[in-house]
Amino acid sequence: MKRLLIILVVIAALGAAVAAYIWNKPHATVEGKNGIAMTADSLANAFSTDEQLANERFLNEIIEVSGVVWEINENQDCKTVITLSVTDPLSGVQCTMKHPAKNVKKGDVIRVKGFCNGFTLTVLLSDCIIL
For the chain, how many structural domains are there in total? Answer: 1
- Residue 22, in any domain of the structure: no
Q: Which residues contact 90 (CB under 8 A, 6 or more apart)?
A: 121
Q: pTM of this prediction?
A: 0.75
Per-position pLDDT tens, the chain of length 131: 788 788 888 888 888 778 777 777 766 677 778 889 999 999 999 999 999 999 999 999 999 999 999 999 988 988 999 999 998 888 899 999 998 888 888 999 999 999 999 898 899 999 999 88
CB 50: neighbour CB atoms within 10 A?
Answer: 12
Backbone angles phi, psi at 109, to 5 degrees: -95, 120
Residue 12 falls inside a structural domain:
no
Q: In CATH, what number is assigned to the domain containing residue 117?
A: 2.40.50.140
CB 73 within 8 A of CB 122: no
Classify residue 23: in a domain, yes or no: no
**Phi and psi, residue 44, nearest 5°:** -65, -40
Determine, yes or no, domain membership for 4.
no
CA atoms within 13 A on the CB side of 48: 17
- Residue 88 in any domain: the answer is yes
Query: What range does the domain containing 82 cover?
Result: 36-130
Q: Tell me which H or E stretch contains 22.
A: helix 2-24
